[in-house]
Amino acid sequence: MAGSAGARRLGALCGARRRPKRSGHGHRRGFTLIEVLTVLALIAIVTGVAIAGTMELPSARLRRSATLIASAIKVAYTRATARSRDMRLVMDLDGKKIWLEEADVPMLVQSKDTTHTGGADPVTDTERAAIFEGEKLLRGPGIARPRFHPVSAVGFGDLEEAKGGDKYGKPLQSGITFRTVQTGHDDAPLTSGRAYLYFWPGGMTERAAIQLHIGDGDNDSPVLTLDVSPLTGKVTVKAGAVELKIPEDDDQKSDRPDSVF
């Protein structure tokens, strides 16, 4: 009896050892073909959108930058009259951005001013140095210069915090730069530094030619010129590099028929 009982226990143990263990991986479900195809399609769509954004035609970015500046001119022209304050459009040629500023007191722009500020308070080190050199010849009392401060107006001149450097301005489109800028108070086109276009209450501004092009340096890339009418603020976008034409006093009447921006 004892031997038969031991034999049964031994048989049970052997049977338990021979029984295959169930793998824990047997309950995992793999990806179906439809799920794999769906993920691949989503990746393709996201990648396509990213490439389309980075491969936007440079000519389209050039036109959008011209539209940005034209819109800023319209805002400044209207705001100067609405608030009865002198305004100016600041064009940072090196930083490739623009913003609007408002004066604390009225000013009369000085033509052919060596600082290119038109007689306003200097902002950059280059402008301060130019004033210092000019005033060395005149030891009389200094002339009070109007000060301008940035303003936020319909998205232009937003005080955008930046890590270091200036914190003002709306940048041009990627890859678009200022080629030259010349306004009525400049004796020559500017290619670096800051350029200023002034606006006065009552609907007056300066004649200006603002040239934009693709890329850096003086290359053969397409150029757009924004021609600004002094009596109406109307902006005409012209293809190619159009130089500023300073008319005689009698020729100013030719701008009178312009009635819309």
Greater model confidence, 74 or 156? 74
Do 38 and 145 contact (CB within 8 A), yes or no? no
Greater model confidence, 45 or 160? 45
Q: Which CATH number fits domain 58-255: 3.40.50.10610, 3.30.830.10, 3.55.40.10, 3.40.710.10?
A: 3.55.40.10
Q: 178 Cβ partners below 8 Å, 6+ apart?
A: 91, 93, 96, 172, 191, 195, 210, 211, 212
Q: Per residue in 199-209, is it b (16+ CB within 10 Å) or e — as a string? A: bbeeeebbbbb
Domain segments of the chain as ranges = 58-255
Do 92 and 194 contact (CB within 8 A), yes or no? yes
Greater model confidence, 173 or 129? 173
Look at residue 120 and tell me whether its pLDDT is greater than 90: no
Length of the chain (residues)? 261
DSSP 190: B
Look at residue 124 and tell me whether its pLDDT is greater than 90: no
Distance, in Å, from the CA atom of 93 to the CA atom of 184, rounded to the nearest integer, reads 17
Choose from 36-45, 162-171, 207-216 the range with maximum mean pLDDT: 207-216
**What is the pLDDT at residue 238?**
95
Look at residue 174 and tell me whether its pLDDT is greater than 70: yes
The residue behind tokens 């005033």 is 135
The pair phi, psi for residue 259, each rounded to 5°, is -115, -10
Q: 145 Cβ partners below 8 Å, 6+ apart?
A: 107, 117, 119, 120, 121, 122
Greater model confidence, 57 or 223? 223
Do 191 and 124 contact (CB within 8 A), yes or no? no
* CB-facing half-sphere around the CA of 32: CA atoms within 13 A: 3
Q: Give mean pLDDT, residues 179-191.
A: 93
**What is the pLDDT at residue 146?**
79
DSSP 117: S
Cβ of 68: how many Cβ atoms within 10 Å? 20
Q: What is the pLDDT of residues 27-48, one digit of tens each?
A: 556 668 787 788 788 888 877 6
Mean pLDDT of the chain: 76
Q: Give mean pLDDT, residues 139-161.
A: 64
**What is the pLDDT at residue 35?**
76
Which H/E stretch holds residue 69?
A: helix 58-83
Choose from 100-109, 125-134, 176-185, 217-226 the range with maximum mean pLDDT: 176-185
